[in-house]
Structure 1
Amino acid sequence: MSDDRLPVDLDQMFDLARAGADLLLEFVDDGVPVDLADVHGNSLLMLAAYHGHADLVRGLAQRGADVDRLNERGQSPLAGAVFKGDPAVVDVLVAAGADVDAGQPSARTTARMFERPVPGEA
């Protein structure tokens, strides 16, 4: 990647995560911290998960993103995906080893609250 494609500021990375842009993975490969978080503690993976981008979540997890990193409200990416009712993102996070009991409320609690399947339970 050429230097002219580097972002002016890291806030653009959060926009790419929200949009599900695969370009974000190139920036991570070129040195953007995989666990970069915004002022509210939302990591790139959290934003991608919350906005329903399973493939981007998978790519970030494969590059070492912390799948259990909590934001400043104590929310986990898995709980966010359960709340949003996104089974594809939930499956990716569970496969990447996300803890169903991380955060407050946890993904387990969120699933029960909204009468959804608890991630990882048959």
Structure 2
Amino acid sequence: MMQDAAPATMTDEETAAFAEQVFDCARRGDADMLTRLLGSGLPVNLRNGKGDTLLMLASYHGHFEAVQVLLKHGADPLLANDNGQMPIAGAAFKGDLPMIKLLMKHGVPVDAAAADGRTALMLAAMFNRSEILEFLLAQGADPSLQDARGATALVAAQTMGAVDAAARLQALAG
């Protein structure tokens, strides 16, 4: 059983093990434990060795309640990890429309992108996630935006063979 807070006298090894348990709570979606830890002073925007925040891990793994807890405690939904990925892009990759809606409700712009320039629309297009594509377009997502390599959502869809997404975006461009 995990303790609610790290004791002040922990060794580096113990601290690393405790931190790993904290990130596992986010991966598993343990909203109750996250609530207790955050109430005990755990920094809400804590990052692991890959730059993933607790919010990134909880949202990527589809844990709606844990994400709500983290957002309620002030987690920044615009923090990207070391790979330049943001929680909304991870949710689009995973095909999690309710998570995208939750993140947007908490201030994430529809065209939010990190250093790689990839928006949720681009990821939805790449993986032929039609429902997400339509939702993002309806929210004002800009299909003409380009990622860091100059690819638009249409190019991403074409590159990945996402036929439905490519056809929908081609119709918009036409």
TM normalised by structure 1 equals 0.88
Are 2:27 and 2:61, in contact at CA under 8 Å, matched by a contact in 1?
yes
Equivalent of 2:122 in 95, 109, 118 = 109
- Structure with bigger gyration radius: 2
User: Could you tell me how far 1:38 is from its partner in structure 2?
Assistant: 0.2
Normalized per residue, the structure richer in helix is 2
Could you list the structure 1 runs, at least 4 aligned residues long, displaced by more than 6 angstroms after superposition.
none
Q: Which moved more, 1:107-116 or 1:72-81?
A: 107-116
Aligned CA RMSD, in angstroms, stands at 1.6
Paired residue type of 1:15: D
**Percent of aligned positions with the same letter in both sequences?**
39
User: Is 1:11 aligned with 2:10?
Assistant: no
Are 1:35 and 1:44, in contact at CA under 8 Å, matched by a contact in 2?
yes
Separation in 2, partners of 1:82, 1:40: 20
User: Could you tell me how far 1:120 is from its partner in structure 2?
Assistant: 4.4
Are 1:34 and 1:65, in contact at CA under 8 Å, matched by a contact in 2?
yes
Are 2:78 and 2:108, in contact at CA under 8 Å, matched by a contact in 1?
yes
User: Could you tell me how far 1:24 is from its partner in structure 2?
Assistant: 1.0
Q: Where does the alignment leave 5 or more consecutive residues of structure 1 unmatched?
A: none
Structure with more relative contact order (C-alpha pairs < 8 Å, separation 6 or more) = 1
Q: Which moved more, 1:97-106 or 1:66-75?
A: 97-106
Are 1:75 and 1:106, in contact at CA under 8 Å, matched by a contact in 2?
no
TM normalised by structure 2 equals 0.63
SS of alignment partner, residue 71 of structure 2: helix
- The 1:53/1:41 distance shift into structure 2, 3 A limit, reads same
Are 2:53 and 2:79, in contact at CA under 8 Å, matched by a contact in 1?
yes
SS of alignment partner, residue 48 of structure 1: helix
User: Is 1:92 aligned with 2:91?
Assistant: no
Total equivalences in the alignment: 119
Separation in 2, partners of 1:121, 1:106: 12
| 2:64 alignment counterpart | 54
